[in-house]
Amino acid sequence: MPNMGGDDGGVGSGVAGLEDDIITQLLLARGVERADLERHRKPSLRGFLPDPSEFRDMDTAAERVAQAIIAGETVTVYGDYDVDGATSAALLIRLMRMLDADAQYYIPDRLLEGYGPSGEALVKLGTGGSTLIVTVDCGAMAYDALAQAREAGIDVIVVDHHKCGVELPQAVALVNPNRLDENDLAASHGHLAAVGVAFLLAIAIVRTLRQQGYFADRKEPDIRALLDLVALGTVADVAALHGLNRAFVSQGLKVMAKRDNTGMSALIDASRLKRAPQCSDLGFALGPRINAGGRVGESTLGVRLLTTQDPEEARAIAEQLSALNEDRRQIEAEVQSAAEEQIAAQHNRAVQIVSGNGWHPGVIGIVAGRIKEKTGKPALVIALDGDTGKGSGRSISGVDLGAAIIAAREEGLLMAGGGHAMAAGLTIAADKLEAFSEWIDARLEQAVARADEGREMVLDLSLSARGLTPDLVDTLDGAGPYGVGWPGPRVAVGPVHIIKADIVGADHLRLIAGGPDGGSLKAIAFRAAETDWGQALLHGAKGRRLWLAGRAKIDDWGPTPRAELHLEDAAWAD
């Protein structure tokens, strides 16, 4: 807890008339040029959507799908088992239905088949009658599988966003803004989730069909109705929320609030939300339930839910996913505990790597994220099963984990691996684990050190205790939606003194603080009770003035909404 110093002051409660000024300052602080403020103030598709034809192979992919629709071919969408994969698959299936066509889906089992398309599965789909397969959120590095499909005479289109190698797998088309041969405009959209790329393909398909006269005797679909899927997949995949992604989420939340998607509506009900979903709900309430099917249950549940038009089926699947999510929480807690025991014995590691026999591979990505947040370092969690292990990693800003995993695979240290800057997956032989750990630690050591040196908490606003109001929270929300790459505003409140401090739940710190202006506020720090600064607030803050820093939120549990602070740090004021 550093000493911030300073006197009482800040914006106070008179912020309602300053809405435009505050939002302007928030936008400028996030890198928006003054000349571009209006486009970012209310992000729309019109303002940010590129011409899909800018992306390599997009027109080829759209032409092939249009051909299949017109000819009545059997099309299968081959998805991944996470939220991005499920929403991408659901988007293309719903699009086909809008176009009076249909598509089957295939979602591999995480435990039995692993990530990405397998040659065996592709060939089986082809012999079963599918003349076109579209992979979504996977396929960018599936060289062997796509070669087998090509040899069997099956057309495959890849729609992905993961990092690509110099050599591309054999496919009719590979649409991916992270292709190394993309032009600058397309490459600037490398932060899109796969569902965002799938939406661009949907636009291109409809345009191609329009040019070919397909809508002469049928209504052209309004594909904006699919934006709820794009918003959910984008946020749940922790894609950077700037530019087009921010427009996707902003507009997608509006579509979601209409509840026209039967499955999405059931998912909202199962999440116990009594209001229209907000951006944070997509990552913390809706997304985890979809993920639970692929992690610890049945991999097809997410796609089935998001494509069904039967309210009863939707309700049953949503309830099943909620139950699986509770199971996932328990399994995750057990792996987390074992992983933290290993971390306690590690010292001076640039990358936190933990492994264990019998760990459930469905939760290792979540645990990796928890470790990353707790340690401030990239984390890899590996579930060992005999001679091999499946690993999942999460990184920090400024450290490209996906590129490192691809390089390790090329070095022969991994059996398989890939990903993007912030997340990656791998398959490793157990006897290569130590060598890989040393290699990736050395590879990323300097990048982690640079990222650590550059870490700082940027504050957008300074307030007195009385200034933390619901009106202020509403004003700050005007520059949202917020997420990775477009951080929510951080405010500093103080100087204040602690009135009450206690622990709630398993490891959450709750504070009541008061200021010299007579105001008081509630603050909560999630999973912080055992941290050094959490302990200092619990036991060493009596009689001292301090500043509290975090995100201003609405507490709507009671009859009257109140503002509260989601605490991220604190500092002595004297």
Q: Could you tell me if 55 and 203 lie in one domain? A: yes
Residues 235 and 288 in one domain: yes
Same domain, 171 and 257: yes
Q: Which of 323, 356, 371 is the last residue of a domain?
A: 323
Q: What pLDDT, on a 0 to 100 scale, did the predictor assign at position 1?
A: 53
CA distance 165 to 169: 9
> CA angle, corner 229, sides to 224 and 235, nearest 5?
120
**Would you say residue 467 lies in a domain?**
yes
Rounded to whole angstroms, how far apart are CA atoms 402 and 405?
A: 5
| Residue 367 falls inside a structural domain | yes
- Give me the average pLDDT of each 10-residue run along the chain (574 residues): 41 42 92 94 96 98 98 96 96 97 92 86 96 97 96 97 93 98 97 98 98 96 98 95 97 97 98 93 95 89 97 98 94 94 88 95 92 92 95 93 94 92 93 96 94 82 93 93 92 94 90 92 90 88 92 85 93 87
Final residue belonging to a domain, choices 308, 323, 338:
323
Q: What residues does 203 pair with on adjacent strands?
A: none
The pTM score is: 0.87
521 and 560 share one domain? yes
What's the angle, vertex CA 185, arms to CA 398 and CA 82, rounded to 5?
Answer: 60
| pLDDT of res. 15 | 42
- List CB contacts of 305: < 8 A, sequence separation 6 or more: 263, 266, 267, 290, 314, 317, 318, 321
- Please give the pLDDT value at position 114: 76
Based on the fold, state whether residues 373 and 482 are members of the same structural domain. Answer: no
| Within-domain flag for 284 | yes
- How many domains is the chain built from? 3
Angle at 82 between CA 441 and CA 395, to 5 degrees: 20
> What tokens were used for 35?
């000349």
CB 492 within 8 A of CB 552: no
Task: Give the pLDDT score at 528.
Answer: 87
Domain-embedded: residue 10: no
382 burial class (0-12, 13-18, 19+ CB within 10 angstroms)? Answer: buried
Query: Is residue 33 domain-shared with residue 60, that is, in the same domain?
Result: no
Write the CATH number for 20: 2.40.50.460
Distance CA 313, CA 310 (A): 5
- In single-letter form, the type of residue at position 382 comes to I
Rounded to a whole number of angstroms, the CA Rg of the chain reads 24
**Contact criterion met (CB below 8 Å) for 325 and 289:** yes
Considering the domain architecture, whether residues 227 and 165 belong to the same structural domain is answered as: yes
Q: Would residue 495 count as lying in a domain?
A: yes
Q: Are residues 178 and 310 in the same domain?
A: yes
In a domain, 44, yes or no: no
Cα–Cα distance for residue pair 209/98, rounded to 1 Å: 12
Q: Answer yes or no: is 462 within a domain.
A: yes
Of 146, 132, 158, 176, nearest to 79 (Cα)? 158
Residue ranges of E strands in 120-234: 132-136, 155-159, 173-175
Task: For the beta carbon of residue 68, count every other beta carbon within 10 angstroms.
Answer: 22
CATH number at residue 109: 3.90.1640.30
Q: Do 25 and 67 have their domain in common?
A: no
For CA atoms 119, 125, 130, 133, give the dihedral sign: negative
User: What residue spans of 287-430 are helical by DSSP H?
Assistant: 287-296, 301-307, 311-344, 364-375, 401-410
Residues 434, 464 within the same domain: no
Query: 360 with 307, same domain?
Result: no
Q: Using CA atoms, how far apart are residues 494 and 354, in angstroms rounded to an integer? A: 40
Among 453, 479, 509, the domain boundary falls at 453
For residue 20, the model assigns a pLDDT of 55
Which CATH number characterizes residue 414's domain? 3.10.310.30
End-to-end CA distance of the chain, in Å?
11
Give the domain range for residue 560: 16-38+457-572
Reported residue count of the chain is 574
Residues 203 and 228 in one domain: yes
- 402, part of any domain: yes
